[in-house]
Every structure is written in structure tokens, then in C-alpha cells.
Amino acid sequence: MTTPAGDNIIEARGLTKRFHGFSAVSGVDLDVRRHSIHALIGPNGAGKTTFFNLITKVLQPSEGTIRFNGEDITDESPARVARRGIVRSFQISAIFPRMTVAENVRIALQRPTGVSFRFWQSERTLSLLESRVDELLDAVGLLPLRDQTAAGLPYGRKRALELATTLALEPELLLLDEPTSGLGGEDVERISALIRQVAANRTILMVEHNLSVVARLADKITVLARGKVLAEGPYSDVSTDPRVIEAYIGGDE
Amino acid sequence: MSGLSVRDLQGWYGESQALHGMNFEVARGEVVTLLGRNGAGKTTTLRAIMGLLRKRSGEVRFGGENLIGRMPEYIARRGIAYCPEERGIFASLTVEENLFLPPVVAEGGMALDDIYTLFPNIAERRNSQGTKLSGGEQQMLAIARILRTGATLLLLDEPTEGLAPVIVQQIGTVIRKLKERGFTVLLVEQNVRFASRLADRHYVVEHGTVIDTLTAADVAGDFERIQNYLKV
Amino acid sequence: MMTLLGISPQLLFGQVLIGLINGVFYAMMSLGVAIIFGMLRIGNFVHGAQYMLGAFGAWYLMHLPDLFPGLGLPSLGYWWALILVPLAVGAIGAIMERLFIRRVYDLEHAYGLLLTVGLAMVIEGLFNVGYGAAGQQYDIPGSLRGGVNLGFMFLPNYRLWVIVAGISVCIATWYTIERTRLGAYLRAATENPDLVRAFGINVPRMLMLTYAFGVGLAGLAGVMAAPIYQVSPQMGQSIIITIFAVVVIGGMGSISGAIFTGLMLGMIEGLTKVFWPQASTTVIFVIMAIVLVFRPAGLFGKETVAAHAADMSTARPDGILENGRLWLVILGIGGAVLPFLVYPVFGMKILCLALFACAYNLIFGYVGLLAFGHAAFYGSSAYVAAYTAASWGFPTELAILSGVAMATLIGALFGWLAIRRQGLYFAMITLALAQLVYFYAIQAPWTHGEDGIQSVPRGYLFGFIDLSQPLNMYYFVLTVFLIGFAAIYRIVRSPFGQVLKSIRENEPRAVSLGYSTDRFKLIAFTLSAMLAGLAGGTKAIVFQIASLADLYFMTSADALLMTLIGGVGTLLGPVVGAVIVVTMQKEFATLGSWVIVVQGSAFVLCVLFLRKGVVGTLEDWLAARAERRRIASGGAPAPVAKGVHS
């Protein structure tokens, strides 16, 4: 583990991403405090998902730098960034559909063990991981379904499985891309509770549309609009900020 | 009436259900908005009407005909034109090529000169590449190109999104002029203030259903009510 | 007259001219392939066959009175052909689109390629049946005979005409697409077909017409080629792989790029013929490899969003047909009995090809990469094993191991190059790289060209088991097969295999979990090449020959076909597929070229109706039966895992 450099786990400076001359994200500075839940909100097209893709290096920024624990990660590959401990979830549930629920989690647990290139060993050597698999599945309420094929799970359960898989990597920074999108009321409650539960000793950066979820969970909120930071602060401040209201509801003509 | 009538419209993205039974009407010549937060299902509703969302059920009647199960090209030829949220300006086409792309589906479309009068910027930049335009110009072009076709119902998805206030104002003027010309407009908006000055009626959408209906008079009398649905 | 670097200008300009003419054909063909790929996302492998149809079409028109005596038809010459044939070939293209190609738009890219490979085999096979390998003569039209003397060289009029007409057609096509309203529809539909449909444009019909147009271009190229090259059933086969390489080099981004790349590569090929004749057949493929290292997206290609590995596997992992330990024993016993039921040679052929198909399945089925050049590994190993055994007197086992080492080495190199691109490109690149090896083998002295390396001694295994005894040889091959089969089972069911599975099912997610997926894919590819080499080396010893056929792309297609018929990504599929294909080849052997037609039809039918293959279908049936029984005995219905692309 790298030694924490200050209180910020992520420091983005002047982050910009241009597509065909159009700036989806322009000059964003963002600090994410260690052990906080930080939410990114904003109207459609504000650049939230692009920002996420920049942090996880799925996209290469046109300008700007990203520091993680004080180290510059701007030019690293997505897999390298993941190995550093920045792990993301996806807007559409990202599972391995034809693997069992347990295998889904195990594939994540397997990665830090360093045995993944061993093509000459039986997969039974992975049985060491089973107890941890069960712990994680239990935490998200999926233990009874461990041997089912993931594709057969209901949508809400798939999101839970994705979260368990993500947690298996013990990420220092967890990026959640709309964790409650497409879920019904009950599932939203379950996933929110889960997020709060896993936030202990961890940092979470989330994009979320459901504002009641954001209001309840987030310590700090950054509002993006047109690719720029519009406002930042706790929910009570942000929700009464006239600029934010204007961005959401529209200003005077 | 021969406008648009949507009954119990349900729609899915894969297994995730996005529309849970939308019900609303747009009479001929009206401007009607669908208001709601991000992810409420407004865009999905337009896509479902247009047939771009394949997995859908319920009833979408236009001119008396149910369009559920029809292909997008068929629906367009019944006289519905669509201006998508991301504007859909084709990067490899010039402004003029973009403008002439949608085929004429009925008589009575706007003449090119009228369109250029309505959008002077577009006329000036007719030979540039589509994506060289600013965001506002792209939005104007996206609206302009569906006016030629003779379609009578326009589906406009968040035309003000990400645009500076002065441009928003211009777009408001355009929509008002379109109404005067007799177009029927179904507008998806988050910008309530913008919408409230244009529309005859508002449907508030949440979780893929219509949760409230407000007339222009309701909004004028009690702006708080609508703001409460949408505020941060 | 001056000489340049000791080369006479006549030779130099003559070759540049020939190169330019080839370049014109490359440009016209790759233009069609690029347009079709851009709009339909189909790698049109049948393009070569359609070009051949064009040439034959011209020949037919010329010979109408001979073909239909008594009808009093006139002989229609070149100029008629120039108009009628592209229209006819385009119409055939439209029918093909309607009947076949349309059905695979919504499927993985791989199926489009497989389907067009099958169609190409059917068409070329049919012409082979009718006309054999011999070419037909097509005379230069009278008005274009003769030539101009340019002082330094003699320029035949027909060649001048081809250059001018070909380039004009390319420019007209470019103009139509880039500058006209019709082209605007095309460009828009390439960018965002959904929105174009929402404007009321019938995109499905546009796709059909686009395909017909691209194919018509190939037909036109065929007519223009008829007086220059011999009109033969093989003329399309050799050009299509080069065209794919041209397309990879140019990138799919731009129409003008495709034209320019085609012309340029033709000329480079011509120049190479002057300065280093032996390299002229391979130079395009070498350029492709270099371009891939420095500009993976191609010279004119735009930055593309990375496509990901595709899950085409049809296996049900916990089914009885996927139990490797059980089947290792059953195959061992079955294999031991086999030589008493069929000729050992036939049994050995099945075993070698089954191992080859299993090796191929490792990359295609278990990783989801559509490799199309496994002949390179199979063949190079066969050559090295044959050479070391025949010329250096290596003992049998060492000869095979040398072959395996060569296959592994080439596999690692090709994998390293090809992994940069995915989806259809991956197939095109592996195909082109394999063709490089094929052309090398034609040229190199030690491979003995068309003859191949013959009379390879079977030798003595470990110095004392006489392999010239058929049964000894057979049981050795069986052992090799079982070792290979077990190795693949182990690889698939290892920690490494788990990662492969995750890559196949959801590559972006595997990356987000921290796996550098390219590295896993490369290792899997190399292992697959190694095992394909084991099959090829063994085959060289069994049949005592290594020949060009082992390296020919049809051998790669065989591996694909066996895997597809048996069931992609299933344990037993490749074995079952090998049995079916080898039996089929044997049964139809007396029918000559019909074998190709039958195999091509098998491809087409599998893609359209049996995508799960024999074993995959059987596994589905077994699973459904088990589920029915479970419910009948009072169990609750389990949520059924969704089938692949159902």
C-alpha cells in the first residue's frame, strides 16, 4: 500500500476531455476526501460518466492530471489503475452472465493472488477462496443463490452481485456509476443500505440520479453542468444554491 | 381527435423496465411537455413512440392508427419527426447535407427559405461540416432539418440542454413560431421555466409513469407546485 | 539508355505499370469491401468469388452462341459485358443479401465472416466443378488492341484503359459517397442507422442496395480483369486475402484512403518485383505487420472504439458432455478400439484434425477470438517436423517437438501483432499473416515449392518402437491426441481458464477488475498455436509429407468448420466436428471439387440453422430434459440461463 498523501485520495486538476472539438469535460478540479462518500450529480450531458471514464482511464484525458494517493496516474492503463485499488461498477450491470454467482465473485478474489496465469493448475486450487466468496455473498444477501448462473438472477440481484464482485477487490476507492438506475423502490433501499455498509474504511465516488439516495448517503456533492463544476458542498448547501436550481430547472430567460 | 394518444405504454431496455404505463394526450396544434428528473423515462417515451425502443407494449395512436410494433421508418412516414437529445448531427455530413437528409414524408413542409429565415445562423454556415457548429447551432440544425419533411408532430428531446441562456431564449422563440405555424410539439424538458412559457399542458413523469398533469394556468398560478417535483 | 541501380528502365517501368494495374484492382475491390463493412459490418469474404463471377460473366456473354446453341443469341463483347455484368453480379449480390446475409446482422461479426466464407466456397467450388483449374482465355477487345510507344517502354492500350477506367470508377464512387445526396444517406446511416430510420428512410433496403453496389464493383473489376488475367475459378480466392490485408493497412475510416492504399500497394508490389522478386508476393503482408505495430488503426483509420471478445460458446459447463475426465477415458477406450473398425490411416487423420480443431477451439470458443490463420501453425510445424526428420535425421519425437517449437514461436509473434485489433480485424489479420507463411513456403528452397517435403521417415519412437507399423503409429497418434485433449481441458479449467472465461463473457468488466486482458489473450493464442503445431507435426510424420495444402487458408477454414459443426466452445464439439468433416471429405472424395461445395454449404447451413453445433444442441436438449424431469418430480422451475444470442 502506498502511504496516503494528505487527506485526499483523488486529486484531479484541470481535467479536460474533448470529442470532435466538443468538450465533454472541461477544466474540472476535483478532490475526493479519504473515507467519504462523494456524489457527482448534474443534468444529462453534464459530463459525469465521461469524468468517471477519465478517472478509471477508460478514456485518456485531453488535458489535466489525475493523482491517486499523491501519485500521478494520468498515463496508466485501465487494468493498472484497477490494480492500484480504483474499482468501478457500471451503469448497466456488469456481471459474467454464464458463470455462477460464486464464480463471479471468485474471479475478482483470484486476481490479487497472482495465480491467474497458471494454466497448468486445476481450478480446484482456487477452493481456498471459497470461504471469502461466501462471506461476500452473504454480505449482499446472495449466499443462497451462490451456485446459480448469474444470467438467471433478477435485475436487482445482478446489481448486488456486481457490488459483491467489486468489493472482493478490497478497493480503496469505489466508483459507482448510477448504482440504483433501473431499480424498483425496494431494491433501491437495499442497494443504498449496502452502499452505506461498505463505505466503512473506504472512499466512494458515485454518479447518481436518484437525489433522495444522494441526500441520504453523500458527505459531499459536486454538481457538474456542461462539463464544468458548478457547485460543491454538502447536500443542504448544494440543493439551495441558485445556480444549481437554475441548472436543473432552468433560469430566467 | 387526430393528435397523439398514448395509453399504458410500457418499455424495456433489455431486462430493465423503463416505462411502467405512460398515459397522455397531445391534441393537434398543442405544445405539450414531459417534465421530470433525469432517468424518469422521458427520453425513453419518445424513443418508444418513434419505434426506436423495440421492446414496448401498450398503445401509441397517431391519426387514429396504433403504431406499436411498427418500424421507425414507417412511423416517420406517418408524419412524426424526431429530434434526439444528443442532437444527432452527422459528423461526416455538411450542414446542408444534414438539413436535406430527412426525406419529405408529406406535403406542407416548410420551404427552405422559410427555414433559413427562421435560422439565419444555419444559412450562414451551410457549407461547414456538421460537427464544426457550436452546441446551439447544432441544436438549431437538428430542429431545422425536421421542418422540411411535412411531418406535423415534432418530438423534441431537451432542446435546451447544455445551452447558454441566450440560445435557450432563441429556441423558445422558434418553438413559439412553430406553434403558430400549426405544428404539434411534444417537448421533453428539465428546464421548467423554459417549458412553462411555451406549453399548453405539462405531464410530470417519474419512474416511467405520469404522476401529475398541469395546465399552463396551473403553472402560472402556482410555480412552486411544479418546482417541487423537480427541485434538487 | 540509362540504367537505374543496374536495372533497365523498361523493366522498372514495366513492373511499376503491372503494379499499378494490380493496384487498380486492389483499389476497386477494397473500396467495395470497405463500403460493405462500413454499412453492414460484414467482412465480405465472398468478394473474391463475386469478382470471379464478373470475369466469368464477361466470358459467358462472349460465348452466348456456344452456350445456348439454337437460340440464335449474339455474342456480346467486352463493352456489353462492362455494362451488363456488374448489374447482373450486383443483382446476385442483392439476392444473396436478402437470402443469407441479412440473417446475421444482429449476430456476432464472426458469423458474417463465416457465412461469406461458406458462400465463397460454394460459388468457387461450383465453378471448379464446371471448369477445373484451367483458365479460360478472354481476348482484349479489338478497339483496345495495340499500344503506345513511350520511348522508354511500350504501353499496351488495354492496360492504359484499365488504369484510366479503374481510377475513374474509384473517383466516381468516392464522389458519389462523399459529395452527393445519395452518399449523404450512406454516410449518415453508417454513423447512426437508428436515427436515419427515424427520419423515415428504409435502412434495410439501403443495406441491400449498398451490398449490391459493392458487389457490383467487384463484378466490374472482374470484367476488366478478364482480358489481363486468365478467367479461372481460383482468381478470386487469391485476391481476397490480399484485399483484406489492404483494408487492414488502409483502415476502414475513409473511402479515399481505401483507394489510395490499393493503388500504392499495387505499385510497391510491382517495385518489389524489380528489386527483390522473391519478396513480391509477401511484401503487402509484411507492410501490414509493420503498419500494425506503428499504427494499429491503419494508415487512414480513425481511432476506433475497441471491440471486445465475443462469447460464442454454446457449452453448458456442468453438463455431462463437458466432463473432461470422463471423456478422456471414453475417448481413450474408443480410440483404442477404432483401428479395428476403420483403417488406421483414416483414424489417424481424424485424430490429427480433431486435435487441430480442439486447439483452434481454445482460442475461438474459449476466448472468443475469431482467428482465421491456424493453418500457419499447423503447416509450419508440419514443414519443420518433416524437414528435421527427413534432412537432419531427427528422431520422430524430436522432429515433432521442433515443429511445435516453430508453431509456438510463430504463434507468439502473430498473436502479438494481431491482438492489437479485434473482431473482424483480428480474423483478417490472422488470415493475412498466415498467407505470408504460405507464400514464404512457395518460395523458400527448403520447402520444395509445389512438391512439398515428401517421403518423411516415420522412424522409431524413442529409438525402438517402429512407427512404420500402422498400429504402432496409430497408438502413438492416439496418445498425442489424448495428451493434447487433456492439456486443453486443464487449461480451460485452470485459474487461467477462469480468467479467459471472464474475458469472453464481459471483457470491459474483466479489465475493470484489474486483468490486463491482452496478455491473457496472447498466452491463450500462443498455447492454441502450440497445440495446433502438435497436430501439424504429428500429421507430417503420419502421412510422411508436408505440403502447401497444410498452410493453405482452406486448412484454417477446416478448423473453423469442424469447430462450428461440432459446437463452438464445447469440450467435444471439435472432436465430433472432425469426425463429421473427415468422413464427409472421404465420402465425397470421388466427387472432386464437389467437396468444396459441400463444405461451403455446411458452413452456410451451420451459420443459419445450427449455430450451437451438434454438441451444443445436444447439451441444450439434455439440459432441457433434466429440467423437465426435475419439474415433473416436484422441483420448482429454476430461472433458465439465457441461451447465447437466442
Those residues whose C-beta lies under 8 Å from the C-beta of residue C306, and which sit 6 or more positions away, are C422
Which of B86, B92, B94, B96 best tests the C interface by mutation, with the highest count of C CBs <10 A? B92
Distance of alpha carbon B23 from alpha carbon B61, whole angstroms? 11
For chain C, say whether A144 makes contact (Cβ under 8 Å): no
| A96/chain C closest Cα distance in angstroms | 5
Instruction: Give the residue carrying C-alpha cell 461466501.
Output: A134
Lookup result for grid cell 471439435: C574
Please spell the DSSP secondary structure of C370-403, one letter per residue.
----THHHHHHHHHHHHHHHHTS---HHHHHHHH
Amino acid residing at B214? L
A40/B contact by beta carbon, under 8 A? no
What's the confidence (pLDDT) of residue A96?
Answer: 93
Q: In B157-212, which residue ranges form alpha helices assigned H by DSSP?
A: 165-180, 192-196
C-chain residues near B100 (CB < 8 A): 181, 184
C-alpha cell, B35? 417534465
DSSP state of C74: P
Domain boundary among the residues C499, C531, C554 is at C554
Question: Residue holding cell 438539413?
Answer: B99
Q: Which three cell numbers stand for residue A193?
A: 443500505
What is the Cα Rg of chain B in Å?
Answer: 17
If one counts every other C-beta atom within 10 angstroms of the C-beta of residue B29, the result is: 15
Residues C203 and C337 in one domain: no
pLDDT of the residue at C421:
82
DSSP-derived letter for residue A38 is: E
Q: pLDDT, tens digit, for every residue of C414-425?
A: 999 999 887 788
pLDDT greater than 80 at residue C640: no
Boundary (domain end) residue, out of C216, C247, C278? C247
* pLDDT for position A61: 92
Cell numbers standing for residue C368: 472468443
What percentage of chain A reaches a pLDDT higher than 90?
Answer: 34
**Mean pLDDT within A152-159:** 84
Burial of residue A236, with CB atoms counted within 10 A of its CB: 0-12 exposed, 13-18 middle, 19 or more buried = exposed
Nearest-by-Cβ selection for A253 from B161, B172, B190: B172
Chain B positions touching C185 (Cβ under 8 A) are: 101
Cell numbers at residue C534, please?
502438435
**Nearest-by-Cβ selection for B101 from C185, C202, C203:** C185
DSSP code, position C645: T
DSSP result, C53-69: HHHHHHHHHHTHHHHST
Element (H, E) at A23: strand A22-33
Nearest CA in chain B to C255: B92
The H-or-E segment that residue B155 falls in is strand B153-157
Do C235 and C25 contact (CB within 8 A), yes or no?
no
Between CA C474 and CA C486 the distance in angstroms is 18
> Quick check: is C569 in a domain?
no
Task: Judge whether A35 is closer than 8 Å to chain C, CB to CB.
Answer: no
Span B4-88+152-230: which CATH code? 3.40.50.300
Cα distance from N-terminal residue to C-terminal residue, chain A: 53
| Dihedral sign for Cα atoms in the order C368, C370, C376, C378 | positive
Looking up cell 477506367 gives C165
Query: Does A186 reach chain B within 8 Å, measured CB to CB?
Result: no
**C108 and C200 part of one domain:** yes
Q: Which residues of B touch A92 (CB under 8 A)?
A: 14, 16
In DSSP terms, which residues pair with B59 in a beta bridge? B7
Q: How many angstroms separate the CA of residue B105 from the nearest CA in chain A? A: 31
pLDDT of residue C115: 95
- Amino acid at residue number C252: M
d(CA B170, CA B159): 11
Mutate to test the interface with C, among A73, A77, A98, A155 (most CBs of C within 10 A): A98
Q: Is B5 on the interface with A (CB under 8 A)?
A: no
Domain count, chain C: 2
Residue C198: its H or E element: helix C193-198
Q: Cell 441479412 sits at which residue?
A: C102
pLDDT digits (tens, 9 = 90+) for C473-529: 999 999 999 999 999 999 999 999 999 999 999 998 999 899 999 999 999 999 999
CB contact under 8 A, A119 and C514: no
Q: Do C184 and B75 touch (CB under 8 A)?
A: no
Q: List residues bridging with C151 in a β-sheet.
A: none
Q: What is the mean pLDDT of chain B?
A: 89
Confidence of residue C638 (pLDDT cuts 50, 70, 90): low
Q: Is the predicted pLDDT of residue C7 greater than 80, yes or no?
A: no
Q: Model confidence over A203-218: pLDDT tens digits?
A: 999 988 777 888 889 9
Copy the grid coordinates of residue B232: 434538487
How does strand A173-177 pair with strand A86-88?
parallel
Geometric angle at alpha carbon C389, from C383 and C390, rounded to 5°: 85
Whether C640 maps to a domain, the answer reads no
Closest partner residue to B77 (CB to CB) among C192, C200, C203 is C200
Q: How confident is the model at residue A127 (pLDDT cuts 50, 70, 90)?
A: confident
Measured between beta carbons, which residues in chain B are less than 8 angstroms from residue C199? Answer: 73, 76, 81-82, 101-103, 146, 149
Last residue of a domain, one of C219, C247, C275: C247
For the domain covering A8-249, report its CATH number.
3.40.50.300
Q: Please say if the pLDDT value at position C642 is more than 50.
A: no
Closest A-chain CA to C313: A98
With CB atoms and an 8 Å threshold, state whether B92 touches C201: no
Please determine, for residue C643, whether its predicted confidence score (pLDDT) is greater than 50: no
Q: Residue B12 forms beta bridges with which residues?
A: B17
Residue A96 touches chain B, beta carbons under 8 Å: no
Q: Do B231 and A92 touch (CB under 8 A)?
A: no
In whole angstroms, what is the distance from residue C416 CA to residue C407 CA? 14
The answer to whether the Cβ–Cβ distance between C512 and A83 falls below 8 Å is no
How far apart (Å, rounded) are the C-alpha atoms in residues B133 and B127?
A: 11
Measure CA C477 to chain center: 28
pLDDT at residue C307, rounded to an integer: 55
Residues of chain B found within 8 Å of residue C201, distances taken between Cβ atoms: 73, 102-103
SS3 assignment, position A82: helix
**Chain C residues with at least one Cβ partner in B under 8 Å:** 181, 184-185, 187-188, 190-192, 194-203
Alpha-carbon gap, residue A196 to A218, rounded angstroms: 9
What is d(CA A233, CA A223) in angstroms, rounded to the nearest whole number? 9
Segments making up each domain of chain B, as ranges: 4-88+152-230
The C-alpha cell 482465355 sits at C137
Residue B232 to residue A252, Cβ atoms within 8 A: no
DSSP percent split of chain A into helix, strand, coil, nearest 5: 40, 25, 35
Instruction: Identify the bridge partners of residue B213 per DSSP, sorted by sequence position.
Output: B203
Q: Are C502 and A99 a contacting pair, CB within 8 Å?
A: yes
**What are the tens digits of pLDDT across the range B147-172?**
999 999 999 999 988 777 788 889 99
CB half-sphere exposure, B38, CA atoms < 13 A: 20
Could you tell me which chain C residue has the CA closest to the CA of B81? C199
C547: containing domain: 320-554
Contact A45 B13 (CB under 8 A): no
ipTM over 0.85? The verdict is: yes
Dist CA C639 CA A101 (whole Å): 13
**What are the cell numbers at A191?**
442497494
CB contacts, 8 Å: B92 with chain C: 187-188, 190-191
CB contact B169 to A (< 8 Å) = yes
Residue C227 lies in a domain: yes
Q: Is the pLDDT of residue C4 over 60?
A: no
State how far the Cα of C448 lies from the Cα of C547, in Å rounded to an integer: 9
CA distance A240 to chain B (A): 8
Helix runs in chain A, H state only: 48-55, 78-84, 101-110, 130-139, 155-168, 185-198, 211-217, 235-240, 242-249
DSSP code for C341: T
Residues C242 and C324 in one domain: no
| Whole-Å CA distances, B40 to A211, A213, B12, B229 | 12, 15, 13, 12
- List CB contacts (< 8 A) between A211 and chain B: 37, 232
Nearest residue on chain B to A225, alpha-carbon basis: B162
Nearest CA in chain C to B95: C184
| C496 lies in the same domain as C390 | yes
pLDDT per position as a tens digit, B109-156: 899 999 999 998 888 888 888 877 888 888 999 999 999 999 999 999
Confidence at A252, pLDDT banded by 50, 70, 90: very low
Which residues of C sit within 8 Å Cβ distance of A?
311, 313, 317, 490-491, 493-499, 501-502, 505-506, 508-517, 520, 523, 527, 638-642
Look at strands B31-35 and B184-189 and give their pairing.
parallel
C510 to chain A: which residues are within 8 Å by CB? Answer: 107
Q: Do B194 and A22 touch (CB under 8 A)?
A: no
**How many CA atoms are closer than 13 Å to the CA of C7, on its beta-carbon side?**
16
Please name the amino acid found at residue C644: V
The DSSP result for A153-188, as a single string, is S-HHHHHHHHHHHHHHT--SEEEEESTTTT--HHHH
